[in-house]
Structure 1
Amino acid sequence: MKQRMMMAALLAIIASPVCAATLSGAPRILDGNTIEIEQTKIRLSGIEAPETDQICLDAHGQKWACGIAARDELIKHSNGRTWDCHTTGVDVYRRSLGNCFIAGEDVNAWMVRSGWALLSARSAASYAIYEVVASNAYAGIWSGAFIAPWDWRHRNQSTIIIGASSVPSDVQELLLGSALLTDPPSQECLIKGTVGRKGERIYHLPGQNSYEQIDMTKNLGERWLCSESEATALGWRKAAR
């Protein structure tokens, strides 16, 4: 009972107005979910964009780095403009949770409407129509087949694959095969993230002693990362050597 009370108190603090703030500026975009303004990392609320290491299938059944594409489309849409982000609370990685706007346009909603993100469990009900619009238009990741970002992080052979009405017969092997991430999704994403025995998330840079010995097909908890800023924003720490 005492533990439950402590957890309830912690959640109340996290969600309290004390954690609320408004930040403005041209952001550094780390991935389709995460930006940085004035050294504050902000997680876009209510949406789930593909992870930067995530692979999808396009309209022709070919593999593509949809997580990198989602990030790059957000960078293109931002185009160096000023964002206004209203934050309330933090997530498990201590990122501020925020709704962001560019000249009054809801960026979170734009990501869903353009097919570069899905609704999360905490999304606004008004966003639902945007996901329908994106799926009907085969926009973004809806152009082919993909795994929901929350399932991608914990995928296995029974993970559901969604998207286009017709997919290749070998879709399971293409998106769930053990050798899927043997190579990085992009040549800019060369950082290796590994999970230790106690669940500790550690990233390894090219040139570090352990880098070449890491087999990225061995454990699905392992992933490629594109920058140290992205890694730290997602709760990874740098390997000692």
Structure 2
Amino acid sequence: MKRRAMITALLAIITFPACAAKLSGPPRIVDGNTIEIEQTKIRLSGIEAPETDQICLNARGRKWACGIAARDELIRHSNGRTWDCHTTGVDEYGRSLGSCFIAGEDVNAWMISSGWALSSYPHTYTIHEVIAGNAYAGLWSGAFIAPWDWRRRNKGTIVVGASSIPIDAQEILLGSALLSDPPSPECQIKGTLGGGGERIYHMPGQLSYGQIDMTKKPGDRWFCSEAEAEATGWRKAAQ
């Protein structure tokens, strides 16, 4: 038993460096929870920011592009500064999972406490989400659908947010989930689910682009950049 335990411990020591790493530098911010440093894509662990094509409701019940806002707030907060990221493993799309810091400040925690992301597994930042909700910060100032529910939206999808959620919030937000027009002029890339659930994105100017109706399938979505699409497993259409 002791020998087996020693072998297990030795294997852990040998394999740990392959999964864990430290990266530093000014990042390229892809979306509210994905960055790139030195050509390494990093998924901020323990948080879920809204998708860039996601729509929320503000305090007055009006629609706004909250996914783009979350990304832009992270860009503003970063302000070209150096990040220090500690990665431990990869996600299903091959992105490194990491906790990142700016001058000692936990960026993952900042995104949640500022209301621009929600806490997710392993729920390290649950208290930060409570703080954001109590302060009606960011997304919590109005009504929204949790990012994981936005991706699988249906009539049973729950709307969360401020203490007073409009009675028609679900109808408005689920209707916004099928967007005939992009949420922002900068987000012109069309993502469609092909046969067998294959994820394919189409660039303006490609032969197939004009033929795609973005109001047909809930799984279809808009992207703001090729990097954003490829970070979550989408591939470019052949033509």
TM-score by length of 1: 0.91
SS in 1 for 2:87: strand
CA shift digits 1:125-170 (9 cap, x unpaired): xx22211110011000000000000100010111001111222232
Whether contact under 8 Å (2:32, 2:74) holds in the other structure is yes
Structure 1 residue 179: deviation in Å?
6.8
The residue type equivalent to 1:156 in the other structure is N
With 168-177 and 226-235 compared, the bigger mean Cα shift is at 168-177
Paired residue total: 226
Structure 1 residue 212: deviation in Å?
1.0
Does residue 98 in structure 1 map to residue 101 in structure 2? Answer: no
SS in 1 for 2:217: coil
Does residue 189 in structure 1 map to residue 187 in structure 2? Answer: yes
Task: Specify whether residues 178 and 58 from structure 1 end up closer, same or farther in structure 2 by C-alpha distance, changes over 3 A only.
Answer: closer
SS in 2 for 1:198: helix
SS in 1 for 2:196: coil
The residue type equivalent to 1:141 in the other structure is L
With 16-25 and 185-194 compared, the bigger mean Cα shift is at 16-25
Does residue 121 in structure 1 map to residue 121 in structure 2? Answer: yes
Does residue 214 in structure 1 map to residue 216 in structure 2? Answer: no
What do you get for the CA RMSD once the two structures are aligned? 1.4
- Structure 2: how far apart are the matches of 1:210 and 1:19? 39
SS in 2 for 1:184: coil
Q: Name the % identity.
A: 77
Q: Which runs of 5+ in 2 are unaligned?
A: 1-11
CA shift digits 1:58-110 (9 cap, x unpaired): 00000000000000000000000000000010000000000000000000000
Name 1:25's counterpart in structure 2: 25
1:226 maps to which of 216, 224, 227: 224
Task: Specify whether residues 178 and 26 from structure 1 end up closer, same or farther in structure 2 by C-alpha distance, changes over 3 A only.
Answer: closer
Question: Equivalences for 1:175-186 in 2 at 5 Å?
Answer: 175-177=173-175, 180-186=178-184
- Structure 1: how far apart are the matches of 2:57 and 2:176? 16
Could you say which structure has the larger radius of gyration?
2
Q: Which runs of 5+ in 1 are unaligned?
A: 1-11
Name 1:156's counterpart in structure 2: 154
Whether contact under 8 Å (2:145, 2:159) holds in the other structure is yes
TM-score by length of 2: 0.92
Name 1:147's counterpart in structure 2: 145
